[in-house]
A and B are shown apart, each in its own frame.
Chain A
Amino acid sequence: QKEVEQNSGPLSVPEGAIASLNCTYSDRGSQSFFWYRQYSGKSPELIMFIYSNGDKEDGRFTAQLNKASQYVSLLIRDSLPSDSATYLCAVKQKASGTYKYIFGTGTRLKVLA
């Protein structure tokens, strides 16, 4: 069974700090990686995706991918209380004729005002 692993947290950071969220995956053939934010009782909301090794920046968010180590991370700079949510790491896995997301359990982030 191909898995995606995340620390469930909670990860608590003070407002303005950098939050670092980590994810490992078991399928070495995976090529595309997605970070979703999920508020309690709501649907996942895409933050960003990354396909290539290295860093990808989008505003306060930076995704980092290391395929050799099968590791993907999300950095949130200048954390705000509104960033408090569960962050889901998702890996695309080949299905018959399409792809499906394999999600991790999510890391709960608390940004303290």
Chain B
Amino acid sequence: QVQLVQSGAEVKKPGASVRLSCQASGYTFINHYIHWVRQAPGQGLEWLGIINPNGGDTTYAQKFQDRVIMTRDTSTSTVHMELTSLRSDDTAVYYCARAGQWQVLYHWGQGALVTVSS
């Protein structure tokens, strides 16, 4: 079955960077886009961007354009998301999600809590 397994929780200081991973299994990795979505405590869902594992093309939300980098490693079926210049309001659970047609998010990772605190 389709699984997305994310790396664990992180605690970072303001100004630092965080790199999260999302390892896919149960399907052909290059056939489905991967999205990153975050959720601050008690808040809604916020889209960060998308990566095409087939070629590595990316599109980022304008808000994160200067701070986010998404990459993929086809040898391990893993997508990485790096967020730089962290601030306290970046504290959130970060999810990866596999998209189907029309970017419907059929499968989600378990989430990774990133805490930014001095």
Q: Do A and B come from one complex?
A: no
Interface positions of B (Cβ within 8 A of A)? none
